Amino acid sequence: MNGRKLYTAVFSMGVQQSMEYRFHFFLGLLGAAFPILVQYFIWTAVYQHSGETALFSYSYNQIILYTILAGLVSKLIATQFENQIVDDIKNGGLNKYLIKPVSYFGYRLISFFGQKAIYYGITAVLLAGIIWLASAGGVLEFQVIRLILFAVSLSGALLLNFLISYCICASAFYLNEISYFFVITSLLINILSGGMFPLEIFGDSIVEALQYTPFPYTIYFPVNVLSGKTEVAAMYQGFLIQCGWILLFLWLSRLTWRISMKKYSAVGG
């Protein structure tokens, strides 16, 4: 089997895996709505009691739109393969990738894309409805070019978040109990990425400092590309920075795993 057929099969397996437990799949989609609803009620109360028409440079409608879009994007780029990688490291599952001409990195990456394919299809329908409603309400100015650039930035965010998580997974070679570590890091990354609320809440100095980290380019940047909060010049600059982080973490992921594999004992499998 040549490389293209091999990874096509891996991608297909990823799609099948995402649909293997259909109830869990749709429950996960439904679960994404609860944080959005909670934030909707919180922001509604905040704006009503503040008496202001805009907070943190967002009007009420803009903050609700950001909350919805950020919730969808954070769900789309979520990895959720960390425990599988830990199991491969602890129980010798990596063995078969060491003795066969299959890249573990490539397998995880293509399988991850396959698992996200169904989510992207369903979310595309949801986004179409959200964009239509926001455009009709005057909250969002529909532009085809922004929609295309949003798709590009979202693809970059998906790859960047995968690479960040893959680097973090290398810590499983050194830590015996790592599940809580993943919970803490995923929550922290989600906050710093703008997945829970706009980064402007932290203040200008923190927002400026976060621009030197990869996190805003996974959620905050794609959402603002679509919503129009990011100006054209800043948008194209953001694409270059996002690509730079992708290249850096691509190198880091290979480096950290190459070093960490020296501690792999190949027990089990």
Domain boundaries along the sequence of the chain: 3-263
pTM over 0.85? The answer is yes
Structure confidence at residue 258 (pLDDT) = 86
Percent helix, strand, coil in the chain (nearest 5)? 80, 0, 20
Structure confidence at residue 95 (pLDDT) = 79
Give the pLDDT means over successive 10-residue stretches in the chain (269 positions).
Answer: 68 68 63 82 91 87 91 86 83 76 82 81 81 81 85 93 91 78 88 91 91 94 90 88 96 89 67
Closest CA to 206 of 188, 189, 192: 192
Structure confidence at residue 18 (pLDDT) = 64
CA distance 220 to 20: 31
Structure confidence at residue 188 (pLDDT) = 92
Query: Which secondary structure element, helix H or strand E, spans residue 47, and what is its range?
Result: helix 33-50
Where does the chain show beta strands of DSSP type E? 54-55, 58-59
Give the pairing of strands 58-59 and 54-55.
antiparallel
CA distance 228 to 233: 12
Count of Cβ atoms closer than 10 Å to residue 142 Cβ: 13
Instruction: Kindly give the interhelix angle for 33-50 and 22-31, rounded to the nearest 10 degrees.
Output: 10
